[in-house]
């Protein structure tokens, strides 16, 4: 029980996470683009060995503060250094140095990555993997147990394929990609530094059929899925290939777990699609669009750049660039909450 308690309070369990370091304060400042504020007591740590939350961090660990509500924890922390904004730099305990940044959470991400980098490819091909003779496998590609790689596949250098991955005929995968266990990819071109988490399905038939006198007849889906550089797709999410044109996911886009994206959809750069959202076929998103959890978008609509779609939103028409919408059918935030307030007033009057 004591081991379990320790693992719950201190991150980066070495049984599960690769560890790097130690690093000096100046190295951390360089990684975080932060300004070093020396501890008031003059004490300094020569080498930091990891990251931890404020309430458990020790003198050789780095923590961070990005919310005023946690100031009491800052006052009591034993961390050797804390990443924080200029507004909180005067609240540091005497024995704690500061890494002062305008974007503490971003700096924290970079420092945590410094201590716990993504695993590198071992370059090992497991003997149970089935790789087609004409597949082109780049340098230092790791292929896990029972992976299947079809004819004509091309995989770039330093990519990792976990166990039971299935790569269909002629699929192209770039360099430094990570493909999680049991992911299945067909009819796709994938860029560099793409991450697909376990159970992802890329390139299956889109949901297309015609109605005939004797029932439904499937329409051939003749497009591909294109994932540009830096895309991440969460566990058990699915992206259908296009019917006549490609389904496109723009560079840097992050897709959460359990998301469905239909055929011919086109997402711009750096979009966010949160868990259980569904995007119907031929819908187009601009750059930096956010789709919150359980939102549903019908097909053949356009969502402008930097628009934000609220949770459980039902979007049935185009959304202007920069707009914030919520509700079903979707409407601007202010209108939605004004309608809610009106309904409450009417309800109170009727009950009186």
- Cα 322 to chain centroid, rounded: 22
Share of the chain residues as helix, strand and coil, in percent rounded to the nearest 5 = 20, 25, 55
Separation in Å, CA 349 to CA 311, 339, 343: 30, 15, 10
d(CA 201, CA 19): 31
Count Cα atoms within 13 angstroms, Cβ side, for 49.
Answer: 7
- Cα 288 to chain centroid, rounded: 14
- 263 assigned to active site: yes
Q: Which long-range contacts (CB under 8 A, 24 or more apart) does 307-313 make?
A: 311/274
Number of residues in the chain: 352
- Which one is catalytic: 116, 182, 263, 300? 263
Catalytic residues, which ones? Answer: 263
């Amino acid at each position: 029980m004591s081991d379990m308690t320790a693992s719950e309070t201190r991150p980066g369990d070495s049984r599960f996470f690769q560890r790097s370091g130690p690093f000096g304060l100046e190295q951390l400042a360089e990684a975080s683009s932060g300004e070093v504020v020396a501890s008031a007591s003059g004490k300094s740590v020569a080498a930091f060995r990891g990251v931890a939350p404020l309430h458990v961090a020790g003198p050789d660990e780095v923590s961070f503060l990005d919310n005023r509500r946690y100031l009491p924890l800052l006052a009591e922390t034993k961390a050797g250094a804390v990443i924080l904004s200029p507004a909180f730099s005067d609240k540091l305990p005497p024995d704690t140095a500061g890494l002062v940044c305008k974007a503490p959470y971003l700096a924290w991400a970079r420092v945590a990555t410094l201590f716990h980098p993504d695993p590198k490819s071992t370059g090992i091909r497991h003997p149970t993997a089935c790789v087609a003779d004409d597949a082109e496998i780049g340098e230092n590609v790791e292929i896990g147990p029972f992976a299947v790689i079809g004819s004509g596949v091309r995989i770039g250098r330093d990519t990792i394929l976990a166990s039971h991955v299935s790569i269909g005929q002629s699929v192209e995968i770039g360099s430094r990609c990570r493909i999680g266990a049991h992911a299945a990819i067909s009819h796709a071109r994938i860029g560099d530094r793409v991450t697909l988490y376990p159970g992802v399905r890329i390139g299956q038939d889109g949901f297309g059929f015609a109605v005939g006198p004797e029932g439904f007849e499937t329409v051939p889906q003749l497009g591909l899925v294109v994932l540009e550089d830096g895309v991440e797709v969460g566990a058990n999410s699915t992206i259908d290939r296009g019917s006549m044109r490609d389904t496109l996911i723009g560079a840097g886009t992050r897709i959460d777990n359990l998301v469905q994206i239909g055929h011919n959809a086109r997402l711009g750069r750096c979009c966010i699609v949160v868990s259980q959202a569904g995007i119907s076929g031929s819908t187009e998103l601009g750059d930096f669009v956010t789709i919150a959890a359980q939102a549903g978008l019908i097909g053949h609509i356009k969502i402008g750049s930097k628009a934000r779609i609220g949770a459980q939103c039902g979007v049935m028409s185009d959304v202007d660039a920069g707009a914030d919408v919520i509700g079903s059918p979707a409407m601007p935030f202010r209108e939605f909450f004004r309608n809610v307030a009106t309904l409450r007033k009417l309800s109170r009057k009727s009950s009186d």
